[in-house]
Structure formats: C-alpha cells, structure tokens
Structure 1
Amino acid sequence: MNDALPDGLTTRPLTKADSRILFELITAQELEDTGQPDIEEADLISDWAKPSYDLSASSIAVFDGDLLVAYAELMGADRADAAVLPAHRGRGIGTWLAAWLRDLGTSRGSSVVGMPVPEGSAGDQLLAALGYRIRWTSWVLALPEGREIEHRELPAGYVVREAGETDLRPAHDVLEDAFLEWSVRDRESYEDFAASTFGRPGYAPWNFRVALDPTGAVVGVSLVFISSESPTAYIPRLAVRKDQRNRGIAQALLVDSFDVAREHGATTSELSTDSRTGALGLYEKVGMVAQSVWVNRAIDL
C-alpha cells in the first residue's frame, strides 16, 4: 500500500471481544447513510463463530487512541465489509482500508473483491472514484407495523412448521442449492452454517422454519430472528427447492415467519434481496416495501 494512515492512528486485527464497539461503529455509519441501523451485534458474533473463519487474519481495526474509528474484514474469497466513523471521514482512512482489502485479496488468490454500500453514500462515492464497478443492487425491505398479513394456502399435504432435529441438514442443503444457483462462492459447510445459526446469541428453535412435502421431505426453509436492539424481526435466509417453486411455498414461509415473529414480540419484519435473485416482486406481493437501496461495488484484482 502506498498511502499511509493519518498520524496518530493505530491498527490491529479485530478480536471477538470487539463485537460491541464494532457494532456501535457500524451503527453510526448506517444511521448517517440510511437513517436506520440494519446491523446487530449478533450478526458479527455469529459470523465470527464459523470454524473456517480466522478473524485475526482477515480483519483490521483502526483506532484513534482508544476509539475505534474504522475497520475492514474479508470473509471468503471476495466478500468485504468496511466502515469509517462519520466524524473521521475525509481523512483518507477509507482509501487506505480499500487498499488493505485489495492487498489481502491478492495474497489469497482472489480475482475480485467487493462490498455492499448504501447507494449514493460516501462509501459508494469513494469506491466509484477508486474504480469499483457495481456488481448488483440490493434492497432492504420491511413489512410495516400493523400491516395485515394475508394467509397463503399450501399445496395439499404440505405443512410449514418449526424445524426438527432431522430437518436441519436437509434444510441446509435446500438453502445452499438455492443460493448457489446465483451466488458465486464456495459451498458453505454445515459446520459453518450451524455455528452461525445455532450459535447466534439468543437463538431459539422457533427461529428455524421449514416447509415439508407430503413425504416429510424439506422443500423450503426460512430463518427468522428478532433484534435484541428493537422489536424488529429479520429473515436472513429464505429458499425453496427448485422443483417445488411457483406453488406458493415461499409466500407461505414468509407469512409463517411474519406470524411467528409477531407472536414473539416483533412489530415489523425485514429482509434483503438483490438483483441476482429476481425475488423482489415476491416480497412486494406479500406487502413489503423497500426501506433502503444498496449496491455491491467490486474491483478486479
């Protein structure tokens, strides 16, 4: 890297003990850029719980004295994340972090490195100026508080319920098969999935929903969590087996997830989708509305 950090700043890798201060940093950036935070501390803790992930080798934290002012990390081959405290923007820290991420990706043999940024934000503008292209667009959608949830019928003999122990590995297969239809990445191991799901702070069995066909086979999956910071539910993963699509199963899973989240205290429900999936219309059909727009900007190495 040619550019140096401003004088007085120090760096070190993140540790798992940093989850709270990193959550506060990312929250400050999201409030500045979108007006509402989407991150939870549990998101960081669950990502860092994956056995395959080496946080110390994949992250950098930037401090001004004892204050965390910026960070970056690279998960997998090309998924980067970074944030700079709004009061410390304009000092060249973001440019330095982008170069750090490119260097780390190059050292790992990655062909591309990209990260999500709110459309039009300071981070979006910086990456565009550095030559990063848009790979895809994504939306954070919400089911507004008080909106009625219309019941969706399942095909005859199908049920949606809480996952049982024997459903978990088949459910992981359904999720990975579906996401790898459009996502270019290595297949996630069940061990990583289990650590980041069942190891998530506050995890309860009702968080894991499955749709079963008349034989008891898992044909659809939805995960739903409630924020520890607000009465908001979030659905990080939803998938239906390819041969079972266009039968109303995804909508039934969504409605079930909304219902069970409300039963456990949520007043709104959120999820995100991107332009690779073609699922935006599905979520709008069940009453969800876009809250913010993000772009994934990437650069070839």
Structure 2
Amino acid sequence: MEQPTLPEGYTRRPLALADAERIADVMGAEELLATGEVGVEAADLVADWSEPSYDLATHSVGVLSPDGDLVGYAEAYGGDRADAAVHPDHHGLGIGTALARWVVARAGELGADRVGMPNPVGSPGDRLLEALSWEARWTSWVLELPEGRTVPERPLPEGHTIREATGADYEQAWDVVESAFLEWSERPRQQFDKWLHHVLGRPGFEPWNLRVATDPDGAIVGVVIILLYGVDDPDGAEGFIEKVAVRRDRRGLGLGQALLAESFACARAHGAVRSRLSTDSRTGALSLYERVGMQVIQEWVNRAAPTSPHLSPVE
C-alpha cells in the first residue's frame, strides 16, 4: 500500500516556540468546528514547549500551505501521548492521515509501544482515527458549573485548612498530585522539576492558581491547580480546574468538595463567570462532579494505535 504524503505544494518543518500563537489558532479553529467553542490558548503550548527536556525539533512537525502559512501540526511528547490538528480550511486533503502516520513513526522512534490522542466524539479527527483503525482507549468529559451556581460548601475536618501554596509546599504538592493520578494513569512518574515547570512556568501563572489543603500537623493532603482562560473575553473569563487531588488516606472527609468550592470561588474573585474541569472514565469521578451540580458539556475519546518506527517520515 502506498504511504500517504502531503498534498502537492504543502511542506513540513519542525515547530519553534514562536509558532505557539499560530498553532493555537489552528487547534482553536478545529475545536470550534467540533465543539462550538475554543478551549486552547497559546500559553498551554508555551508551557509544554518551553519545558527543558522538550525538543521541538524532535517532538513536533508543522505543515505549511503553498502560501507558507502553518495549517497543521503534530507532536509526539515521548511516552504514549500525542496531539495533532489541521485547520478546517485544509481538511479533506490527506494532511491528517499524513500527520497520524508521522505520530505513529515518531512515537515508535522515541520508544513507545502505543500512542494515542484525544478528539471530541464524532469530530473529523475522531472519524479519521477510527477509519485508520485507532482503537478507543477511554472517554473523557468536560463539565461546567453553570453561571450563577456554586458548589455546596463542605466544612473541613477539624484542624484542616485550605490556603495558597508557598515555595516550601511545592514538593509535597507534587507528591500528592502524582501519587493520586498514578493510581489509574499508566505512565512514568513525572519528575518534580518538570511538574513544577508546567505549573509555575505557564504564562500568566499567579500564586493563587496553586492551593493546598493541610492537616492539623501542617502536612499537605490535598491540592488543586486552577487556570483562568479568556481574561480578555467580553463575555467573561472561565476558571478551569486542571488538577484536583486528595491523599488516599484523607478521602471521604469532604476535602475534594471543599477544594472545588474554594477553587471556583477564587476563580470568580478573579473574574471568571463560569468554571469547568475534565475527568475521564479511568477515574470513576464523573458522578461525584455531577452530584455537586456540574453538567457534562463535551465528550472526548482517546484513540490509540501501535507504533512503528520503520515508517518513513511524512513527505
């Protein structure tokens, strides 16, 4: 079978940090088509791409139109995670198929046995990967706390507090988050310095974005990371809970709900008119968020394929 190539006149090159805004535009255009809204900002890409161990020349590829405009991209991060997008104006030309092939080859070269990526259910990207025999691994959902609603507050257990994290808290916070997420996520433990870069190194980070729950002895037993999107949006900013984690031996005490209530209140205080988070079928947490009044507004599927380092690169 002849391997797919780029359409005539289209070329490729590795990405550079300066491409973040344009690639965010490409991703946003595809999200808008699939979900009716844009949920990505250039800051998300800068946080990933500026991480010291991330090499754009190795981990990324951009597709340029005959006019020289970036219209598609893919990245393989190492491990089994990848992402890709093609601007809707350039759909149907085989670019997505070529990028999927590049992802499979590059992930294999980087040592992964499988590689996967998320797409909104039924979107062009999802239909393409399904047609390429990428298998569904898990489902994820974006949930929203509608404007004007609040998460019911839960009193904290005696002696527990929630506060803004300080530098002395960072390593404990990392341990709580990584330990909680590795209970269901099959990946290597993220190193502390890399985790810290993605939290503090995201453009626009402010100290209130990282909050911790402490027990009577001052040990960190819960962590939440809050992002603020669309600060210049005339319709109002959006708070997004990137991570929420409670230490295993402190679950069932209401700390998770208390952290959610605190986070959404902080986001509102900084201009958010609504708040969101995402969860997936591996965590079993969907019903918990629905019980506190959050509503599913998007459904995504992560599809994966076995890698092959022997495929030739995209032509």
The answer to whether the superposition gives a TM-score over 0.5 is yes
User: What's the counterpart of residue 75 of structure 2?
Assistant: 73
Take 1:233 and 1:42, find their aligned partners in 2: how far apart are those partners? 15
| TM-superposed deviation, 1:102 | 0.6
Is 2:14 the partner of 1:13? Answer: yes
Q: CA deviation at 1:229?
A: 5.0
Q: How does 1:271-282 map to 2 (within 5 A)?
A: 271-282=277-288
- Structure 1 residue 98: Cα displacement: 0.5
How many Å apart are 1:87 and its aligned residue? 1.3
User: What are the residue-to-residue correspondences of 1:43-122 with 2, within 5 Å?
Assistant: 43-64=44-65, 65-122=67-124
The match for 2:276 is 270
SS in 1 for 2:302: strand
**TM-score, normalising length from structure 1?**
0.98
1:250 Cα offset (Å): 0.6
CA distance in 1, matches of 2:291, 2:165: 26
The residue number in structure 1 matching 2:223 is 221
Cα distance change of structure 1 residues 292 and 61 upon mapping to structure 2, 3 Å threshold: same
Root mean square deviation of aligned Cα: 1.1
1:255 and 1:38 map into 2 onto residues whose CA distance is 22
C-alpha displacement of 1:109:
2.0
**TM-aligned CA distance change 1:193 to 1:284, over 3 Å:** same
Deviations 1:143-164 (A, max 9, x none): 1111133211111111111112
**Contact 1:50/1:193 (8 A) holds in 2:** no
Residue 300 of structure 1 corresponds to 306
1:245 equivalent in structure 2: 251
Moved more, 192-201 or 288-297: 192-201
Residues 229 and 28 from structure 1, CA distance in 2 versus in 1: closer, same or farther, beyond 3 angstroms?
farther
Aligned residue for 1:172? Answer: 174
**Could you list the per-position Cα deviations for residues 114-157 of structure 1 after superposition, in whole angstroms to 9, with x for gaps in the alignment?**
00010011111110111111100000111111113321111111
Distance 1:217 1:261 in 2: 25
The alignment covers a number of residue pairs equal to: 301
Which whole-Å CA distance do the structure 2 matches of 1:12 and 1:148 have between them? 47
**Aligned partner of 1:149 among 148, 151, 166:** 151
CA distance in structure 2 between the aligned counterparts of 1:47 and 1:234, rounded to whole angstroms: 18
Question: Which letter does structure 2 place at the counterpart of 1:131?
Answer: S
In structure 2, the residue corresponding to 1:267 is in which secondary structure?
A: strand
Measured after TM superposition, the shift of residue 53 of structure 1 is 1.4
- Alignment partner for residue 186 of structure 1, among 164, 188, 212? 188
Kindly report structure 1 stretches of 4+ aligned residues shifted beyond 2 Å. Answer: none
